[in-house]
Amino acid sequence: MTYRFGTAEYARALCDEINGSSEYRNAASQWGVGFRGDLLFAFEADEALPAPLYLLLRLKAGRCEGAEFVAGPAHPDAGFTLRAPFRLWREILERSTLAATAILTGKMKIEGDKITLLKHAGSSRSLIHCTASVPTEFPG
């Protein structure tokens, strides 16, 4: 089954994908333990996405406790925000660009404690892998 990007069904499928991944469970066993690990993906509007979308992932100790699209560019529960134009996100989700490369080149912005994010780089890589594994129908 393919999920339309930006829908509640897509968010639920992503949460299920994360929870079904033993790789993520192992890599992220300490993610969100002792710090706020909820993550906001900010998909900024561009030529393919007319209005921005914001996906909040509630992550703790190798599990996704929920995923939902939220109204604004910030959320009080988010410990970290990854912000980029939708076109770049799509390249990452289609595995033609590495998220780490996007971050290092400044194309993707990070809000939150970058040292903590670096200490948990394995969980971040595994999370992006899970996100890219959801069969997705993209806009545009």
How do residues 23-57 score in pLDDT, each as one tens digit? 999 999 999 999 999 999 999 999 999 999 999 99
CATH number at residue 123: 3.30.1050.10
Whether 139 maps to a domain, the answer reads: no
Count of domains observed in the chain: 1
User: Does residue 140 surpass a pLDDT of 80?
Assistant: no
pTM here is 0.94
Domain that residue 12 falls in: 3-134
Residues contacting 45, CB < 8 A, separation 6+? 51, 52, 85, 86
Whether 140 maps to a domain, the answer reads: no
Largest CA distance in the chain: 40
Instruction: State the average pLDDT over residues 115-121.
Output: 90
